[in-house]
Amino acid sequence: MSNNKRQRKNERKLMSKYITGKVNHLSMNLLVSYLSILIAPFIAIILIYFASTDLLLKVQKEKMNTTLNTTALEITRGYIEAGNLATYISNMKELKTLSTKVKNKKPQYYDMYMFSSALPDYSAINAVIGDVYIFFKDGSWIMKNKSVVPADNRAYESLGSFNEVTYEELALQFSDTFYNKTFLEFDEGKYNNKMVVAQSFPYGSFGEVEGTIVIAINEELIHEKLKTNFMQEEGIALVMNRDGLVRKAMYGANTNLDIKDIPLPKLIAKEDGIIKIKGEKYILSKVKESIFTYVVLIPKSIVFGQVGFMKYLIIALCVVSIFAGFLTCIALWRKRRSVVVAFGEYQGKFGKAAGDGKTGMSFWEGIPFILESAANLQTTILLQRNFMKTAVIRKIILGGYLTEEEIRQDMKTADIYLSGKCYYAAVIMLNHSVMNVEYGNWNEISLSMINFVRNQISIPHQFCNIDYYTFAIIFPIDGDNMLPVIRDVLAEVEINLSNEKHLETYIGIGKEVSTTLEIAKSFEDALEVCEYIRFHDIRMPLSKEEMPKNTETFFFPVETELHLVKTIKQGNQEELKDLFQMIQYENFTYRNLSLIMINYLMELVRGTVIRALREEECDYQKVIDGITEANNLEDIYYVLIEVLPWIKNRQKQKETKEAEEKKEKIRALVEEMYTNAELNLASFAESYGMTENKLYKEFKILFGVSFSEYLENERIKKACELLRQNITIKDVAEMVGYSSDFSFRRAFKRVMGLPPSYYADGMSEQ
């Protein structure tokens, strides 16, 4: 009996021990189940880190490409403007007269001196222009800007122009014929070639060439534009010609890379991406323009350093979330452990529930949004308010609004206060022909200028930059006779800019206007005043009312010249009429021009018109003769009116042809890619070589439908052909680019109005 009791007691101990072990095991399983919930977020942290790093790096690459694109466009535009200047000078009547005297061996020096003295300082008008040379084929003199020296080595060396080239070599090279703005290079060592544009004169003559006009490009300006592509003074910028030879190389101050270390063949073959040089990875950005190819290399570590702290903030937030989740799991486990123990002891049976183990898709679908938000936060959120303010002020100044109500709404949105009985607009224009060595580039000057001026002006105002060297100020006025106050404030600003920042400026003040909508007119007045005081080198603020009315300076700024060229190329008769009326009014009603200025204006307008016509390949001798023989602006206008319909029709034909070529190219590419189930607008845009947004708009214009609609119709059209061949629906779906027959059936019914099985049955019955 005692043995049986002892045995039952031992069995109870063993059972109690067994149950306790099982209960503890079940409790730990519960804890593991809770903690396993954290596995997916933990993996997500790793994925988010790498994905955000890659995405934010792409943002920086896009910034590099945008900056380099801007640099390439500005430099290329500078070369084109230099070529246009050479063409203009080569077509001057005074140069033709001078050339005839040189050819006939008549006295030349005084004539050359008078001619060179009459030429404007083109480098002051256009920052890209360096020096202007005129070489006469059989002449005894060389002209450089406003200097005239004998055509020999000794005098040539005094010009200090082309360091490694003798006068004989230069004269031999420029004895060739350069009909169409030829771009030349002179090797000055260390990949720093001197760039010039050559144009023979007389312009358009296929007879004997009488000389060559050479426009040297402002090398310092090109260097400064290339430097804007560096990050933290790191990087190397290259300018390569069409043969792949490096013509210019710029290094960042902190760059240790030498051009000799760069594998140029590999660089030429590669478009964009990452290239490895001497064990270090470099981000490559390349832009091809009509004249040169521009390349920038920046160490990946430097580019990645621009990303900022956002990625670390994302990780920190995720880690904090995981830690909070861990504490929550422990708390829930401790709360429910007693229930598990009681259940185990009561039932004596143990197990665990299993979930389906699936991860909700909402988390993964949200990842792209999180990463995109991270990139956008870094680049925009801190500057958004300032950008909005600047955009609204600039739009007011440039006359972008139609009504006062639009201005009020946008000012309210941007939190701008601009209220007064009247308004004045003022313009501060930098003397951009001189770059102070204290500044690295125009961006730095612009930022320094904005901060300095805002701190200097004590009366209410709104300030913004129009471009790198033009700044606009709006003064809302509540009192009377405030113009002297504004002038005194701006005079002090001009003095302080000169003394403290070593910047030369011209300041003009527009007329008083009564509404915000009229501020644009006051700005135009201020801009005109600036042009006037810059031309006459007046170093004090001047208002529109103070500007002399009977000035001898004609009106035909570069903006009007470009506008005239654009109007001719578009064949726009109404705009041409308005433009000529404006030129007529500004020069013959508003101004009192001398005969010399009238002739100068006529030659400038005549040269601009002929250049525009020849660029449009309108070489009808009757038209050219009519322009050449015109005695006044009205004669030129009536000749243009006759030829504009032809230009407009030709432009329309050209646009139609280009549209058809684009459509044919798109159709061929769709035909090639439609079987790819992963094909979408983004991948198609990459293959086509265009941004997604631009392709979306252009596709809609060309085809009248979206890309997805067009692709679906093409796939269903191909599917109909295959169904007629008794191929199964599943195989047809795969052959035309659908990942499943279900999505194919839906698309087929959406396009054809009936299921594919009905269509196939109908075809088989026929």
Token digits of residue 40: 């997916």
Calpha distance 139→101 (Å, rounded): 10
CATH architecture of the domain 674-765 equals Orthogonal Bundle (1.10)
How far apart, in Å, are the Cα atoms of 511 and each of 324, 411, 425, 489, 588?
Answer: 65, 23, 8, 17, 22
C-alpha closest to that of 391 among 414, 409, 425, 418: 414
Backbone angles phi, psi at 569, to 5 degrees: -65, -30
Q: How many CB atoms lie within 10 A of CB 603?
A: 15
* β-bridge mates for residue 251, sequence order: 236
Provide the sign of the torsion angle of the four alpha carbons 477, 481, 483, 487, taken in this order: negative
Give Dmax over CA atoms of the chain in angstroms: 151
Sheet strands side by side (includes 211-217): 147-150, 141-144, 129-136, 211-217, 194-201, 182-186
Domain spans, the chain: 37-307, 384-543, 558-654, 674-765
Q: Are 287 and 62 in contact (CB under 8 A)?
A: no
Say how many CA atoms lie within 13 Å of 28 toward its Cβ: 5
> Residue 459: which residues within 8 A CB-CB, separation 6 or more?
475, 485, 486, 489
CATH number for 37-307 (one of 3.40.50.300, 1.10.1740.10, 3.40.50.10300, 3.30.450.20): it is: 3.30.450.20
Task: Round to whole Å and give the CA distance between 394 and 495.
Answer: 26
Name the token pair of 224: 């400064």
Q: Look-up: residue for tokens 């250049």?
A: 611
pLDDT of residue 474: 93
d(CA 259, CA 215): 28
Phi, psi of 243 (to 5 degrees): -90, 5
One-letter amino acid at 295 equals V
**Chunked in runs of 10, what are the mean pLDDT values of the chain (766 residues)?**
58 59 61 60 68 72 82 82 82 81 74 80 78 79 80 69 66 68 65 78 68 83 82 83 78 78 77 79 83 84 68 69 72 59 46 38 44 43 62 87 88 82 91 52 72 85 83 89 87 84 86 91 89 70 72 75 85 86 84 71 83 70 80 86 81 81 87 86 87 86 86 87 85 87 85 81 59
CA 637 to chain centre: 36
Contacts of 524 (CB under 8 A, 6+ apart): 510
282 close to 32: Cβ distance less than 8 angstroms: no
Distance CA 641, CA 24 (A): 99
Q: Which DSSP state fits 513? A: B
CA gap 448, 429 in Å, rounded: 14
- DSSP lists the bridge partners of residue 217 as 129
User: Using the 8-state DSSP alphabet, how is residue 517 labeled?
Assistant: G
- d(C-alpha 300, C-alpha 289), whole Å: 25
The secondary structure of 266-295, three-state, reads HHHHCCCEEEEECCEEEEEEEEECCCCEEE
Place of tokens 């200090």: 160
**Residue 716 and residue 747 in contact, taking contact as beta carbons nearer than 8 Å:** yes
What residue has token string 């009509």? 290
Q: Which helix (H) or strand (E) holds 657?
A: helix 633-673
Whole-number pLDDT of residue 175: 66
Inter-residue contact 578 to 563 (CB < 8 Å)? no
Q: Which residues pair with 276 in a beta bridge?
A: 281
The residue with tokens 């903690």 is 35
3-state class percentages of the chain: helix first, strand second, coil last, to nearest 5: 60, 15, 30
CA atoms within 13 A on the CB side of 129: 20
CA distance 113 to 678: 71
Spatial separation of the C-alpha atoms in residues 575 and 587, rounded to whole Å: 18
3-class DSSP state of 196 = strand
Q: 384-543 has which fold?
A: Alpha-Beta Plaits (3.30.70)
| Residue 125: other Cβ atoms inside 10 A | 15
What is the sign of the dihedral through the CA atoms of 436, 440, 441 and 442?
A: negative
Complete DSSP assignment for 606-622: HHHHHHHHHHTT---HH
pLDDT at 22: 58
**Please, is 355 exposed, middle or buried when counting C-beta atoms within 10 Å of its C-beta (0-12, 13-18, 19+)?**
exposed
Sign of the alpha-carbon dihedral angle for 554, 87, 108, 123: positive
DSSP notation for 46-67? HHHHHHHHHHHHHHHHHHHHHH
Residue 144 amino acid letter: K
Q: d(Cα 2, Cα 751) in Å, to the nearest integer?
A: 91
Beta-carbon contacts of 84 under 8 Å, excluding residues fewer than 6 positions away, are 181, 611
Could you write out the DSSP letters of every residue in 673-708?
HTT-TT--HHHHHHHHTS-HHHHHHHHHHHHSS-HH
